[in-house]
Structure 1
Amino acid sequence: MTTAQVAIDAGGDPVPAAPAPASPPAAPAYSWPVALAYIGVSLFVALTQGVAQGFVSTNIPQVAGNLGVTTTQATWLTVAFTIPRVALPLMLVKIRMQFGLRRFAEIAVAIYLVVSLISIEAIDLRSAVLVQALSGMSAAPLSTLAFMYMLEPLPPQWKMRLGLPLVMAAISAGPMLARVVSPPLLAGSGLAGLHALGLGLAALALGLVYYLPLTSPPRVKAIAPLDIVSWLLIAAGFGGLSATFTMGAIYWWTDTAWLGMVFAASIGALTLAVIVELHRKAPLLDIRWLASPTVVHLTVTLLLFRLILSEQSAGAPRMFQVLGVTQDQLMPLFAVLIVATFAGALALIPFMKPGNVPRLHLVALAMIGIGAYMDSHATVDTRPAQMMLSQAMIAFASTLYLAPAMMQGLLSALARGPNYILSFIIIFLSTQSLGGVIGSGAFVTFINHREAVHMQVLREELTTTSPMLVQQIAARSAALAPQIADGAMRRAQAVVQIAGDATTQAFVLAYNDAYRLIALVAAGALAALVLHMFRDRLAASFRPASPAAPASSQINRTEPK
């Protein structure tokens, strides 16, 4: 498999690129120092785009304060960055084929550098949203380049075994690294420090890409007019779904009319895209193949996994925010998660084979289920150190699950021919990038709903006639006596404190419910996988032996070694 045969989408989700023509130029042989340099560039570019993605989503309150807007308004910056990441990868493959890989790499990183420079001048919400949209567009090719730089110097037998897990771990670790480096930068120089670091990383990435060029296969005319029509419809649909699920839990689904309208328009755009593709002789996406039982099974599996992983992105960090844990106190937790993510990639190397995929998924689901169940015992006194083991297990399992699934789907698409590669992109795009947005939105929605339920129960228990409540008010009033002289004000302040504690307790109980739900879903998926493996083994035992097998075995036995 050549370097040009595999890529990765803008959200850090793996995407195979279209194969090169039948007679591509021979890949050059690399010495170990040069090969290590290419691998280093891959890791650097992957972390660069991940850090840029994480800077905004991690520091929404600080960004909102700097722009003079609310945190709800600042969340639109995340939407502006996400939409291009979801939409652009569908066309990046054909753009590379038509305009050349080397030019694509150099221009992509140069644009990213320019956008990083412009981001320093964003002074209000409108300009910041525009800059974030440009940032999402310019960051989209970087994960592709990270994947290509990883595969470029590796021998064929190591591209899947080593290159695939390692680069996917680097891309996943980027947003976590942003959480580790943000607190000291903000403490030292504020948001200007974040912008300066992003600009410096982009400049270094540009220099590395120019210094170590990729081998470019011959250009081919790949973009047809109807490809653009289909892409615009799919981009509109995915973009609308991203905006809906990101903002739905914030504005609330039934309270905001435009959420329903955007959702309906997104479904309509995707439906039109399907109609267009079904009537094309050379479609951008093979809808019939995507609807086959095998591909539907793969899609459901990947989507389920992405929904399960929302526990780590939308769960623990937000729960600690409710508990008053600051960003600098979360630094050790995310440092451990980065190590666990790379450990998962390294652990895959001896076992990264197509026949081992179900077993690897079995281990990953078990680790996720156990980790989520451990998290479900959180209390208002829980701190990051107490969740390091469970969260590290989930981070380890994420690489252990996704890389083999990517390999399995990629090999399946390649086996059917070049026309199925772009169709495979839609699977990973919709289940990883878009699935991550949907999973996060669904997770936050569930949390908000369960918090309201638990708060109602606590209110019923904390009545004015409750002896426990009377005792708590008296104790807190006595504790406030040195600060507040007036007895009525002390009592009112004690009631406010108890109400705040009840709200925090309701949120923690809601997160525990969500963790238990994730554990149950992982256990259900694990049981389904075991049954599926048993069915396959049972079917294989009843399948008649191939008549060619004995002859082949005889040849193997008599073949000289």
Structure 2
Amino acid sequence: MARNWHLPWEEYVETLKPHERPMMPGSPATPDHPWPRRLQYAATGVLVALVGSLGNAAVTANIQNLQGALGITATEAAWLPVVFVMTNACMNLILVKFRMQYGLRLFTQIFLGVFVLVCAAHLLVDNYESTLLVRAVAGMAGAGLSSLGFLYIIQAFPAAHRLKGLIIGIGLASFAVPISRLVMPTLLDLDGWRGFYIFELGFALVAWAAVQVLKLPPSERLKVFDRLDFVTFALFAPGVALLTAVLGLGRIVWWTEAAWIGWALVGSIVLLTAALTVEHNRTNPLINTRWLTGADMLRLFGAILLIRMVLSEQTSGAVGFLTVVGLGPDQLHGLFVVILLAMIAGTAVSAFTLNMEKLNKPIAIALGLIAVGAFIDSHATVLTRPAQLYLSQAMIAFASAMFIGPALMIGISRVLQQGKQNLISFIVMFSVLQNVGGLAGGALTGTLQIVREKYHSNQLAADIVASDPQVTQRLAQLSGAYSHTITDPALLRAEGVALLSRQVTQQANVLAYDDVFRIIAVLAALGCAWVTVTHLRPRWRARAEARRTARTPDASVVSAAVD
């Protein structure tokens, strides 16, 4: 109960039952709250988590609209979500230790306060440079809010179900993408981007008020920062920033056309190598390289990276495909309602079917669902509409929510088995892989789509011959739509040729997206097979050992027979 929260930590911790004590310094205690208070914590956690991720989801989903509002190029617009990821991916390197040393109260006030200021700043800036700075600060604040929302959700669950709270808390941020797709068209119609900024500011103020009223229980404070931590951060943060810039901008400026892409990649490799070298030789590392490079952890990180990449089928692939066939945001409402419901279902199933002995199983199932969904989408045509994608996209959305919890629990179980000092290392790598994996998936999807579109355009154009009667008939049909307004035969034919060219380009894009979906389906299927084998290998070994033991005569029986 809150009545003891004013006590010094040494006295307060003595009032707690064993299951109420925090897992580590910097995390709040988890006392047995009454059910009304648990519901309040759950609502506040959901609110804070969505506030931290909604802004970036809205910018990413409506980047072309924001580009027009700011009057900037496509390359300049692409930097807006990239700088958010840059700062967001790096912050967890110091956030955990910040909570440990300075406490949750200061942590909460700083990051919610900064986020409110960021939302207010959006209403005052109307140029590209200021917006870029605001998005970078929003990335830092968003990282803090994600952690804060997670900690609030934990308070909503009793000890017996606390792992379910962990899974639900980590999955909340993914809901922001479909929610932003649903609310943004209405807000943009009301007052453009200013309407969204006002909505975001109001949302942040409500969250701030809720956190001020409903405080988290106390946490233990320790002096944990070391001077070398800041050296590592000074190397690691710009290294990750350069890598995210390469992945986020590479397909837009094109990989081989912009020299800075190569230099940024070189700089990223040098800086990250230097950071890991410093950590490898430390007595108390911030990032435990020896633990992170263990076989189990490498397999886990490989699975996380693979899933984040193939999930681009939904975030970049399906949405890009529907845009190519001429659909606008208003026509995608039904699809994103289905996606949101599937994500909620996936999170619930992941939480309530959790089996700590079979954590690889839901990851394999998630990859299998992505493979099937992507394969279904690979048969799309120019006549495909959102209703035909409901099943496949629901499967992928369900999978995206289903894998996160078990992947997190695999890492946490390794931390608990091998030392809590490795928690920071795991959280940092989990966050970086989530962010970088998403960008890498978008880069892969976009690059493959562009390459395959060029291929199909050349193939289709090669088959169009002016002397072909079918081509002549098609040109006549297309130009006939303008016959009442254009009387010059040459101009009329030129208009028909332009329309045919646009149709060829559209068809080439559709075929390219089908190719991308097939490639993603193959990658997901291979990943499913790999994780399944990893899951079953210990059982195969145990059965083989049991058979070998059964065939080996017991030593006492052999001895008795000899006697």
Q: State the TM-score, normalized to the length of structure 1.
A: 0.91
1:49/1:174 contact within 8 Å kept:
no
Measure how far apart 1:198 and its partner are: 0.7
What residue is the counterpart of 1:74 in the other structure? 77
- Tell me, what secondary structure is at the counterpart of 1:123? coil
Measure how far apart 1:514 and its partner are: 0.7
Q: Quick one: which of 105, 121, 127 aligns to 1:124?
A: 127
2:29/2:219 contact within 8 Å kept:
no
Matches within 5 A, 1:298-447: 298-447=300-449
Measure how far apart 1:98 and its partner are: 0.7
Shift of the 533–219 alpha-carbon distance from structure 1 to 2, 3 Å rule, reads closer
State how many pairs are aligned: 527
Matches within 5 A, 1:215-226: 215-226=217-228
Matches within 5 A, 1:45-84: 45-84=48-87
Measure how far apart 1:200 and its partner are: 0.3
1:311-363 deviations in Å (ceiling 9; x for gaps): 11111111112222111111221121111101111222432021232322232
Shift of the 537–275 alpha-carbon distance from structure 1 to 2, 3 Å rule, reads same
Measure how far apart 1:93 and its partner are: 0.3
Q: Distance in 2 between matches of 1:163 and 1:257?
A: 46
Measure how far apart 1:25 and its partner are: 8.5
2:350/2:403 contact within 8 Å kept:
no
1:32-51 deviations in Å (ceiling 9; x for gaps): 11101100111111121221
What residue is the counterpart of 2:471 in the other structure? 469
Kindly provide the amino acid, as one letter, of the partner of residue 146 in structure 1.
G
1:50/1:178 contact within 8 Å kept:
no
Residue 20 in structure 1 maps to residue 10 in structure 2: no
- Tell me, what secondary structure is at the counterpart of 2:124? coil
Measure how far apart 1:507 and its partner are: 0.8
1:102/1:215 contact within 8 Å kept:
no
Q: Distance in 1 between matches of 2:306 and 2:397?
A: 16
Q: Distance in 2 between matches of 1:102 and 1:135?
A: 20
Measure how far apart 1:21 and its partner are: 4.6
Shift of the 25–366 alpha-carbon distance from structure 1 to 2, 3 Å rule, reads closer
Q: Distance in 2 between matches of 1:316 and 1:170?
A: 22
Q: Quick one: which of 496, 499, 506 aligns to 2:498?
A: 496
1:455/1:502 contact within 8 Å kept:
yes
Measure how far apart 1:19 and its partner are: 4.5
What residue is the counterpart of 1:558 in the other structure? none
Shift of the 107–346 alpha-carbon distance from structure 1 to 2, 3 Å rule, reads same
1:431-479 deviations in Å (ceiling 9; x for gaps): 2111111111111111111111111111111132333222211222233
Matches within 5 A, 1:292-303: 292-303=294-305
Residue 140 in structure 1 maps to residue 143 in structure 2: yes
Q: Distance in 2 between matches of 1:330 and 1:518?
A: 22
What residue is the counterpart of 2:250 in the other structure? 248
Q: Distance in 2 between matches of 1:432 and 1:169?
A: 12
Kindly provide the amino acid, as one letter, of the partner of residue 330 in structure 1.
L
Indicate the structure (1 or 2) with the bigger Cα radius of gyration. 2
Measure how far apart 1:179 and its partner are: 0.9
Q: Give the gaps of 5 or more residues in structure 1.
A: 1-17, 548-561
1:166/1:342 contact within 8 Å kept:
no
Shift of the 80–338 alpha-carbon distance from structure 1 to 2, 3 Å rule, reads same
2:29/2:218 contact within 8 Å kept:
no
Q: Distance in 2 between matches of 1:544 and 1:226?
A: 50
What residue is the counterpart of 2:489 in the other structure? 487
Shift of the 116–282 alpha-carbon distance from structure 1 to 2, 3 Å rule, reads same
Residue 40 in structure 1 maps to residue 30 in structure 2: no
- Tell me, what secondary structure is at the counterpart of 2:357? helix
Q: Give the gaps of 5 or more residues in structure 2.
A: 1-21, 550-563
Q: Distance in 2 between matches of 1:385 and 1:210?
A: 44
1:368/1:393 contact within 8 Å kept:
yes
Q: Distance in 2 between matches of 1:150 and 1:309?
A: 25
Residue 531 in structure 1 maps to residue 533 in structure 2: yes
1:207-227 deviations in Å (ceiling 9; x for gaps): 011111111212111111101
Matches within 5 A, 1:257-272: 257-272=259-274
Q: What RMSD in Å do the two structures reach over aligned CA positions?
A: 1.8
Q: Distance in 2 between matches of 1:324 and 1:27?
A: 51
What residue is the counterpart of 1:5 in the other structure? none
Kindly provide the amino acid, as one letter, of the partner of residue 156 in structure 1.
A
What residue is the counterpart of 1:29 in the other structure? 32
Q: Quick one: which of 86, 92, 96 aligns to 2:89?
A: 86
1:79-118 deviations in Å (ceiling 9; x for gaps): 2212111111111000111110122112210111011101
Q: Distance in 2 between matches of 1:193 and 1:496?
A: 38
1:376/1:513 contact within 8 Å kept:
yes
2:185/2:330 contact within 8 Å kept:
yes
Q: Distance in 2 between matches of 1:26 and 1:91?
A: 21
Q: Distance in 1 between matches of 2:169 and 2:428?
A: 20
Q: Distance in 2 between matches of 1:363 and 1:80?
A: 33
1:168/1:399 contact within 8 Å kept:
no
Runs of 4+ in 1 over 4 A off after TM superposition: none
Q: State the TM-score, normalized to the length of structure 2.
A: 0.90
Kindly provide the amino acid, as one letter, of the partner of residue 172 in structure 2.
A
Q: Distance in 1 between matches of 2:405 and 2:113?
A: 29
